[in-house]
Amino acid sequence: MVNNIRKIMRKIYEKNNSTLGILCFISRFFLIITLKNKNLNDEMIEAMSDHLKDKELSKKELKKIKKEIVLFRLIYKVRPNEYFLYETSRRTPEERRTYISREMTNGYYKQINDFDALNIFNDKFLSYKVFNELYRRDVLYVPSDDKKNEFLEFIKRNKRFVLKPVDGHGGVGVEFINVKDYKTPEELFEHTKAAIPYIVEEIVEQHEKMACFHPQSLNTVRVVTFQKDGHVSIVWSFFRVGQGDSNVDNMTSGGFGAQVDPLTGKIITDAIDYRGDKVTHHPDSNIKFKGYQIPDWEGLVSTLEKLSAKVPSVHCIGWDMAYSKKGWELVEANGRAQVVTIQVLTGEGFLPLFKKMAYLCNKDEEETDY
């Protein structure tokens, strides 16, 4: 029932946007009964702080934005941050309907990918076991205190290493550790116990052609592939790089993203930060993003074709790949790759792509609003 009402409200608003006020009021009610209003106010405050802090707006303009955020949360399923990143307010109704929100991707990924197989990607240690030949580095899984002796042996071989929560995402919980910062190996192990279960990894020594932008962070390429019946294609890709004192390249941790041409491996856009603000050159190294050639792109494509074949029931996968002095290495993989960054970079909605992937996976071609 709620879906039908949402579609009706969307049609009403798109025909007559002067109905914003009353539709916003109705939206609040439906967001409450569908339990999607719980964090909306906090998300709205945070998003407005991020995206409007440098703008001088009247009370009337701010009021309109708040109403649109509430209404669009229901009728287009965009969260407050997506409302700003996709510039939803200024787009035509036809353009808005081409964008796919993070909430909507869950429904499409259920059509595209075998969710029973996603544990391989949700658990970093399982990913390592399946794709171990492409890690090219020392990795240890620590599920409990019983692995203390193996941990102590690991830190003998690796005086600096990275610790990652097994189920972590977006760089949350990642810690770069230097053994010399602790009085004894036992003290170091005690420090890590709060993060159990975790994996520890030898630090990737990245190639200078990737490190040159920002040597402090491991800079990667996010490549999203779609495979069906043995054929693998790249559906989108972008370069990720950190800045300042950050050790990670995630945009949520202050990094930048720039679109990469899937055919050539060349960066074809300026970079953006988590707010969608553009930069032409990296602020630390002053290297220009647009036009930069990612090294050994053909080798990366060949590698991903082999990796994709290992889990044929998961058709769409996001691969985070680092180019080291040993060649391409898998950092991690994701069976539900986020689509926010690429839609912001291209200024285009990717809903038609998701519908096509769902159709090719022999799912119902009928349009479904998730």
Interatomic CA distance for residues 85 and 287, integer angstroms: 25
Q: Give 198's strand partners.
A: 142, 165
Pick from 97, 34, 36: nearest CA to 367:
97
- Scored b (16 or more CB within 10 A) or e, 334-352 reads bbbbbbbbbbbbeeebbbe
Angle at CA 253, nearest 5°, toward 352 and 324? 85
> How is residue 270 written in tokens?
């300026």
Quote the pLDDT of residue 266: 98
Cα separation values, 116 from 113, 132, 214, 294, 311, Å: 9, 21, 38, 34, 11
DSSP H or E run through 258 = strand 256-259
User: Does 143 sit behind a cis peptide bond, omega within 30 degrees of 0 on the bond before it?
Assistant: no
Q: What is the mean pLDDT of residues 211-233?
A: 94
Q: Give 231's strand partners.
A: 228
Quote the pLDDT of residue 267: 98
> How is residue 105 written in tokens?
């991707």
> How is residue 220 written in tokens?
């990667």
Q: What is the mean pLDDT of residues 264-292?
A: 96
Q: What is the pLDDT of residues 69-113, one digit of tens each?
A: 999 999 999 999 999 999 999 999 999 999 999 999 999 999 999
Q: Is the pLDDT of residue 364 over 60?
A: no
Q: What confidence tier does 170 reach under pLDDT thresholds 50, 70, 90?
A: low
Q: What is the mean pLDDT of residues 142-153?
A: 94
Q: Phi and psi (nearest 5°) for 339?
A: -115, 5
Determine the 3-state secondary structure of 235 from DSSP: strand
Identify residue 253 by its one-letter amino acid code.
S
Q: Is the pLDDT of residue 363 over 80?
A: no
Q: Give 178's strand partners.
A: 160
Determine the 3-state secondary structure of 301 from DSSP: helix
Pick from 275, 248, 284: nearest CA to 173:
248
Say which DSSP state 260 is in. Answer: B
Q: What confidence tier does 253 reach under pLDDT thresholds 50, 70, 90?
A: confident
Q: Is the pLDDT of residue 128 over 90?
A: no
pTM summary value: 0.89
> How is residue 250 written in tokens?
């995630």
Question: Counting beta carbons within 10 angstroms of the beta carbon of residue 106, is it exposed (0 to 12), middle (13 to 18) or buried (19 or more)?
Answer: exposed
* Cβ-based neighbour number of residue 131 at 10 Å: 19
Quote the pLDDT of residue 368: 57
Pick from 226, 229, 299, 223: nearest CA to 261:
223
Cα separation values, 159 from 151, 175, 325, Å: 12, 14, 19
Q: What confidence tier does 189 reach under pLDDT thresholds 50, 70, 90?
A: very high
> How is residue 273 written in tokens?
């930060």
Identify residue 307 by its one-letter amino acid code.
L
